[in-house]
Each structure stands twice: as C-alpha cells, then as structure tokens.
Amino acid sequence: MAENREFYWRRLHSLLGVIPVGIFLIQHLIVNNFATRGEQAFNDAAVFMEGLPFRIFLEIFIIFLPLYFHAIYGVYIAFTAKNNPKRYGTFRNWMFVLQRVTGVFTLIFVTWHIWETRIQAALGAHVDFGMMEAILADPFMLVFYIAGVVSTTFHFANGLWSFLVTWGITISPRSQQISTYITMGVFVALTYVGVSAILAFV
C-alpha cells in the first residue's frame, strides 16, 4: 500500500515539474529575455505580466503551490535516493545525481529570487529593469543568478526526460536515447534565453 502511494506521489511530482512549473519557467525566461531588446521593452513586458487578471490567484495556485510541492517532495527524493555514480559510472546515473543536486540548488535560487522580486513587490518595491540591474551589479549575485539559471534549465530539461519515462511515453532504449538528445537541446536553448537575459541587465 505504501509503495503504491509513493508511486502516485512520484508521478504527481513528475507531472507538476512539467505542468505547470515547467510551462511557467519557459514563460518567465521568455519575458525576462525582453531585456535584450532594451529597458523599455522589459518594463513593458513586466507591466503586462503585473496586469494579468487574477494574477494573485494564478501565482498562488498555478505557480507557488505546485512549485513548492514539487520542490519539497523533490528534496525528500534527493536525500533518500541511493546515488552510486562511481560504482555505476553510466551517463544516465550521473544525470540522476545531477538532477538531485540541481534540484536542491534550484530550490535555494528560486526562493531567493522570489524574495528579491515578488516579496519585495508586495512590500512596495517596483519590479523593473532598474531593480534587476541593481541586483546584478553585485558580481556575486551575477554569478549566483547565472548558476541558478543553468541549474534550473538543466533540472527542467533532465526532468522532462524522466517525465517521459515515468509516464510511459518513452519506453524503448532507442526512444530514450532520442529523448536525451531532444531534452539536452531544450537545456541549451533555455539556458541561452535565460543567460542572455541576465547579461542584458549588466
């Protein structure tokens, strides 16, 4: 009974990592990438997102609750999983370890980013180009944000591979190999979108 319950929890964890959390990640990176078009373009995109109807409801129930369920249960998985990359030195085993490591780091990064932006906005700060420019003026924060984006995009892309396996979409070794190439392509593309946005604030 306990094994069945854990099986369903893990499937839910996997699903939420792609829908809605993964979809929100892609949308967030695209909005941030407007910074590469200049300060006004980014501010216009930020104002548009701020003006969405039912924004608070969407943030709580479509973003934050699924995100933190996925994150907290993911930390549980990370600290109870048996990682043996030295004994089983395969590519996929290393991906398993990196998924757990980036999951923990991504949780720290996302929580800090929410504190610096959403929480500060709730306290009266204005989320705009100038805010991000001031944050990233600190060299430590610049490195932290770049590492955070790379960690987040890897965790999503590699998690997408796991999602396809968990939900029985890629069953054969051949299909799993193809999905490895596709998801790594997703990682590279999203990393470029995210990192180029960060550098646009510098």
What 3-state class would DSSP assign to 124?
A: coil
Specify whether the CB–CB gap between 128 and 103 falls below 8 A.
no
Going by C-alpha positions, the residue among 175, 170, 37, 32 that lies closest to residue 113 is: 32
Q: What tens digit of pLDDT does each residue of 11-30 get?
A: 999 999 999 999 999 999 99
pLDDT in the model for residue 89: 56
pLDDT band at 4 (very low <50, low <70, confident <90, very high): confident
Q: What tens digit of pLDDT does each residue of 57-74 get?
A: 989 999 999 999 999 999
The length of the chain in residues reads: 202
What is the pLDDT of the chain when averaged over all its residues? Answer: 92
Per-residue b or e along 127-163, where b marks 16 or more CB atoms closer than 10 Å to that residue's CB: bebebbeebbeeeebbebbbebbbbbbbbbbbbbbbb
Domain boundaries, the chain: 2-200
Specify whether the CB–CB gap between 83 and 100 falls below 8 A.
yes
The CATH architecture annotation of domain 2-200 reads Up-down Bundle (1.20)
Q: What tens digit of pLDDT does each residue of 77-105 get?
A: 888 876 665 555 588 888 988 999 999 99
Q: Which two tokens stand for residue 146?
A: 């770049």
Angle at 22 between CA 79 and CA 154, to 5 degrees: 60
